[in-house]
Amino acid sequence: MDREMKIFTTLMSVLALNSTSLTNEVGPMNESLWGRKVDFMQYKCKYWQLAHSIALPTLREFSVCVDLQRVISTPQWTVFMYSHPSRPDMEIGLKGSNDSLSIRLFGKTWTSKFKFQLNVWYPVCVTWSAFELTPHLYVNGTAVVVNFTGSELQTLTDYQIAANGYLTLGVSHFIHNGEVHEVSGTDFQGSLTLFRMWSEKLPVSPDKHCVDGDMVRWNTVDWITHDCAPVPDDRLQCVWSLYVVEMDVIITRWDSQETIRYQAKDLVRKWARGVLPDDMYIHTVLVYTLVSPNTAEEKAAWGQEGEVLTARPTINHFKCSVYLNVIPKADVSWIQHQVTLLLQRPYWTDKVLLTPVKNSIHVNPVESLPMLTIEPPHEDTTSALSTTPAFTESSTASVIVTESPAVTIPALSPSTEGPVSESFFRVDLTVSLTGSTVNAEQEINAWITETLSKKKMSVLNFQFLGKAFDSNPSGNRSLGARQSPPATETSHTSRFQVQATTSYSIDQTIDQIRNALEVPYTNGSITLDAEPEGILVSHINPGQCQREQHQSRWGLFVWPKTRAVHTASYPCEGDSSRTAKRKCLLATNHKAHWAVPDLQQCPVVVATIPDLDDIEVTTENAKDVLDMIDSLLSNHRDLNDKELVTIVNKLGTVVHISPVTPALGKVIVEILSDILETDSNFQPVTNNILQITESIGDRLSSFPGESVSLVAPGLAISAVNVNPDQFHNLTFGVSPSNAGQGPEVYINKDPFACMVAFISLPPSLQESFPSGHGVQPRVQFQFFGTPALFEDGRRDKILNTFVVSASVTNATGPIQNLKQPVEVTLLHLQDKPPENDVLCVFWNFNKKNNHGGLGSWDPTGCSLNNTSHHHTTCLCDHLTHFGVLLDLSRTPVDKTNERILTIISYVGCGVSSVFLGVTVLTYTAFEKLRRDYPSKILLNLALALEGLNLVFLLNSWLSSFGFPVLCMAVAVTMHYFLLASFTWMGLEAVNMYFALVKVFNVYVPSYILKFCALGWGIPLIICGLVLVVRREAYGTAPYSSSLEPSDDMFCWVQDDVTFYVSVVGYIFLVLLCNSAVFLVVLVQLRHMRLNRPAGTCSDLRKDLRGVASLTFLLGLTWVVALFAWGPVKVPLLYTFSILNSLQGFFLFVFYCLMKENVRKQWRVHLCFGRFRLQDYSEWSQTATVPARTKPSQTRKFPSVKSVRSNKSSTTESTSASSDSSQREVSIKRPNLGLICLNGLALPRAQAAHKSTHLPQEQGYDVSPWLAKLAPPSTEK
């Protein structure tokens, strides 16, 4: 018993000796900081510093994450800073100012607009790669836009993070004499936790927040706290499921056999499975030899007891990594505590002892588990031992020593057969090449491929990095000696990946690769030799190609998760008997990614553009839809309306549901450019295309620097993030495209001769920038190189420039009425002839065009600054799409004449309204004046003209309210009264035709009633049809005879087709009929004059007065507009405006003021004293004709009320009462009836007679200028 106790005591002393030895090597007690924070609000808590034992290597990429909580807001504060004594600029830093955060990198600064609130925890990550222009900032796992604050940003490709620098948390610092000194005023007032750093740029997402770093971890051993102890915080929980346990173990056995690491791996797995709970699944165990076994101290200890033990134990030290998957996942700090506590206990088997070194246990969360074959959770590992008896677990916690005089331990050997797994390795190789070769890259690649293929390994992604150095070992030989040419030795570096499918472990495979490459290789005259230190082999975990849904013209494919360098298959949608294939490749960044799928076996499903309607656009397939559109457009030179609408709708959907990165935006811009180069009708989709380009600029994200430009041959978009406090001016210029690569875009460059478009934004634009917190003001510019996109159906004007636009994202409101104008200079596509004018316009999305849709050019708010043969400069008070129209149809009216003509129109209409009102009141109040048909027709005409003039005068005022419904009602009303006026003018001509030409056989029942139905009904029908067929034809436009800018908006017919059909065509038809009737009247007058003696000058004046009255009555003055062309346009426009605006006044003059019976009625009823005229008795007289005795032979006609002619001093009556006007009479002899200006009478027709008498003899009123032409009557 005493012997056993001695053995036990000796064993314990050896274990204690080894534990103490290892403890001294690993340092003091290692504690995790997960669940704890550094609170810089503590007393004397200034900063933390990275431990001297943690030395950062040279980095060309990195990722840094930290959680921060601000308690007090300060002007300047620092989260962390990394610097190197040899470089004055800050290498890496995360600094703040008030509530915003900025990134410092190599002395350059990128700021963000994200606002950090007080007392709120924010996970913040910064990533950078030398292959990218700018770093990236993430807050709460979401990318935040950062803007470079310098003047010009150069590429960072040549930059790298210097090694062995100094890193501090919570304060900025400077280095002096190798010591860190804090910078006052930069301390962080709050708490930090979970600071971690990785040696590569990692994707950042909220679901990977709990992963520990690979260079700097959140662990006390990595930090110098400077008496600022970490503070536990139960709220700082991070739930995770994947962990790696790194620790040192001691395995003791009692024979001369050594415990190799493959046996140790089985023991560690068995021990871990026994002590860890069932919810912690062991995924992989990796074991490495730590130190040489049996140190001198151990041998001395055992030598003292040599007389006791016949077998001295063998002690081996190992470092092992155990990968765990915790299901369900739990808080990291709790897992660390539980696992560390459970792994404190030693592990006993039959005569074998495994002891963990307690202070070496580290439990860290990891992003993923190694891609190794996962063994079953309860697999018996004893089969891995070459001999029996195997290790068995002891049921007691004591050391069991056999009674035999010697302890016999079976020898352990590695497993030669096991599960085959696939692994990947990165190899950096420096090889010496002796001899001369034409292609060193080819020789080295062939050697590596041949050498490793013998080991059943594949070489992937071979990269020849170039020549390292040259050497000439024979360079010191005498030049005079005749010797053979010296052998040349060069050193070359290369990098490649190795795929190994083997049953060996990771370490064994690494040894195989190294051993294979260490063997010199000779091929003819060259020799390749790699020194051991020039062979760097590391295991890599490429992961898997993730499940991906791929939409293409060949159908929808759902590619499953696939391991790297493997191929996935999927049945074709169009033919399930065929198969599509896609390979998962291993990229040079050591990550798996999908290759382009092989779809050659699949039939096309989306064969035409309309087939795209069946494809639903999602965030996942947005890029695929763009690829399909691009493929379909390659075979189309023109698109019909349906195809064009389909493509534009799909592009709009992609823009609105998918994040618009510069790469995605570039693809969309190129597709739009391809569409604009086709021979298509863009008018139906112009507004849609403009809205898509606007959305691209608004939604662009994750672009480096302050601006980004997307350029294609026919289109360019530039987005500029601006600083509101530093905004003074911003310009955008475009020069012609080069070899189909698209136009050159210039931001804030002075204009030069080659520019085709230039726009300058004024400082006052700053007032429209968004003012919300965290909202980045952005100005975007657009250039369109296809004028055909802006076709609005106008034929008299053409777009003679390219189109350029500017807008502000998230503006506070519509950008209009700017204090300082926007200056736009555009190059003419065709030189401007001197006789043609130009017009500065913008594209109005809501204006009706001549095609019946929305979108047309509008000059409102734009004015011409200057123009030449080649350029035009415009000034506009708003932002939109700008262009210059060339007027091809007319000689323009200058602004002075335009203003005078406008004044004449308003004044004339006002005067006419007053006198038309007097005319209407006169004929309405005095019943005796409107007993005949001509007077009633005149009254209706006056009412129509009065309505037209009043609506015209009120139009601009009513349109200023901006109500579309009100404007439409005004336009319809004005249209109606204009048509009604011309309709009644036409009815005047019809009445004249009946009276003058159709003398016989004319009987019209309800004559005036039918005239009223026509006069007021026809315009109503026309306006109603316009409202039904094309309601949008009515709208608002500037009041002007041209398209020159005008402050007075006018509600009128805006659609050209509707205008020419319902207005110009109708008026032309009426004027044509009236002109014909007018000519007939003149011919009849000519015949009458031939039968009468020559008249006096007074008669001539009366003739001219009659012709003039008929001209105004029939509206023939409107014919002047047909001749307003060329050099006589301005004089005729003045004539047209004066005559037609005063038409109502002239009607008053001829039909009231110059009509004697009207004047006498005024004197009878309105005058007093000596001016009053007594009621004239002759008004009661009537002219009757005896009726025939045989009614059957009598032709009946409606009796027509007429007014006697103007004579020198008498007023003769036409009827005694209203009853007399209704009687039917027979007239023995036909009389020539004529409508005249004093009273237009429709005659009664009777049987033919040889003689012709004037109607005056039958009681009809005729004009004196016609009466004198009639032959004398023979009847008494």
* Model pLDDT for residues 4-20, shown as the tens digit of each residue: 555 555 555 555 444 44
Residues in the chain: 1276
Residue 681, SS3 per DSSP? coil
The 3-state DSSP class for residue 761 equals strand
pLDDT band at 886 (very low <50, low <70, confident <90, very high): low
Per-residue pLDDT at 1126? 66
Which pLDDT score is estimated for 1233?
Answer: 31
**Region 273-277 average pLDDT:** 88
Residue 643 pLDDT > 80, yes or no? yes
pLDDT for 131 equals 74
Looking at residue 1038, its pLDDT comes to 53
Pairing status of strand 77-84 against strand 166-169: antiparallel
Q: Which two tokens stand for residue 26?
A: 């690993």
Rounded to whole angstroms, the Cα distance separating 1266 from 786 reads 67
pLDDT value of position 884: 67
Residues 197-218, mean pLDDT to the nearest whole number: 85
Mean of pLDDT values over 418-424: 77
Note the pLDDT of residue 91. Answer: 78
Lowest mean pLDDT among 246-260, 466-480, 664-678, 993-1007: 466-480
Q: Is the pLDDT of residue 861 over 50?
A: yes
- CA–CA separation, 296 vs 279, rounded Å? 43
> In this structure, are residues 353 and 401 in contact, taking their beta carbons and an 8 Å threshold?
no
pLDDT for the residue 618: 85
Q: Residue type for 790, please?
A: F
Cα-based torsion angle of the residue sequence 269, 271, 275, 276 in order, rounded to the nearest 10 degrees? -10
Q: What is the mean pLDDT of residues 1230-1258?
A: 34
Task: Please report the pLDDT score of residue 297 as a whole number.
Answer: 43
- What per-residue confidence (pLDDT) applies to 581? 93
* DSSP conformation class of 533: G
Work out the percent of the chain whose per-residue pLDDT is above 70: 76
Structure tokens at 83: 């610097």
Tell me what the mean pLDDT of segment 565-579 comes to. 89
Q: According to the model, what pLDDT value does residue 1151 have?
A: 83
What one-character-per-residue DSSP string does 1021-1072 give?
A: HHHHHHHHH-GGGEEEEE-SSSS---SSEEEEE--HHHHIIIIIIHHHHHHH
Of 653, 646, 710, 644, nearest to 678 (Cα)? Answer: 644
Q: pLDDT tens digits, residue range 931-955?
A: 778 888 889 999 999 999 999 999 8
Question: Which range, 479-483, 799-803, 1089-1093, has the best average confidence (pLDDT)?
Answer: 799-803
Band (pLDDT 50/70/90 cuts) for residue 999 is low
On the question of pLDDT at 48 being above 60, the answer is yes
Q: What torsion, rounded to 10 degrees, do the Cα atoms 656, 661, 663, 668 define?
A: 20
Asked if 189 and 71 count as a contact pair (C-beta separation under 8 A), the reply is: yes
How far is Cα 569 from Cα 598, in angstroms, rounded to an integer?
10
pLDDT in tens, 21-32: 444 443 334 578
Between 156 and 273, the higher pLDDT residue: 273
Predicted pLDDT of residue 870? 87
**Pick from 202-211, 511-520, 637-646, 1045-1054: least confident:** 1045-1054
pLDDT band, very low/low/confident/very high, at 752 (cuts 50, 70, 90): confident
Beta bridge partners of 521: 528
Report d(CA 313, CA 934) in Å as an integer. Answer: 140
For residue 931, give the nearest of 939, 920, 919, 943 by alpha carbon. 939
- Residue 330 parent element (H or E): strand 314-331
| Closest C-alpha among 324, 50, 333, 51 to residue 210 | 333
Under a CB-based contact definition with an 8 Å cutoff, are residues 600 and 606 in contact?
Answer: no
